[in-house]
Amino acid sequence: MHDPVVFRSGRFLARVVAETPPPTAPDAGKKPLALDMGTGSGIAAIFAARRGYRVVGVDINPVATRCARANVLMNDLQDAVDILQGDLFAPVRGTRFDLVTFNPPFFRGEPHDLADTAWRSPNILERFAMGLTTALRPAGRALIVFSSDGDEASLLNALHANGFVTTPVQRRDLRNEVLTVYAATRSTPSEPT
């Protein structure tokens, strides 16, 4: 796998995905669908595919999407994982997912360049929470990793404002920061209006 440890949060999220129960297909004969938002190296997408999901990974950075595609090929999962380049949910508009994973930028502000989009954004947490309302199936869930160095309250507030309940699934103290994976589910598992 190409450089999944540069961002410890990606490796941590992938481990949580690997430890989740195998998915149940929403429709007979179809694999459940997962979306790995901000896929980066593709590590969470790869682990979701290994759990039995058909996966789409999305990243705004074309360098990241090339890296993720290479890792998917090296893991012989090209029949289970598609990698797309684009901004948040735009490349998958109209598709509903059973699982959404997200390793967002933790810091507020305008990115200095394309590589910096992995670290900072002025409004990605709010845009993600809003887009999740139509991208997540009613009984689906999102797994979002976040750092204590970032604006965790804004993430949780944005999810709650869009009708999601959040639960911490796992925490890891890395001495200089604490990483938490949150599960987000609909407060009532009905179709969004």
- Residue 190's pLDDT is 55
Cα–Cα distance measured from residue 179 to residue 170, given in angstroms and rounded to the nearest whole number: 8
Whether residue 51 contacts residue 32, with contact meaning beta carbons closer than 8 Å, is answered with no
Please count the other Cβ atoms lying within 10 Å of the Cβ belonging to residue 62.
Answer: 10
DSSP code of 58? Answer: E
Using one digit for the tens of pLDDT, what is the confidence trace for 21-54?
877 766 767 889 999 999 999 999 999 999 999 9
The answer to pTM > 0.95 is no
Which residues fall within 8 angstroms of residue 149, CB to CB, at 6 or more apart?
A: 106, 107, 177
Mean per-residue pLDDT of the chain: 89
Which amino acid is located at 136 in the chain?
Answer: L
Is pLDDT above 70 for 11? Answer: yes
Using one digit for the tens of pLDDT, what is the confidence trace for 84-142?
999 999 999 999 999 999 999 887 888 888 887 777 787 999 999 999 999 999 999 99
Q: How far is CA 133 from the centre of its chain?
A: 14
Token pair listed for 26: 């929403």
Which amino acid is located at 107 in the chain?
Answer: F
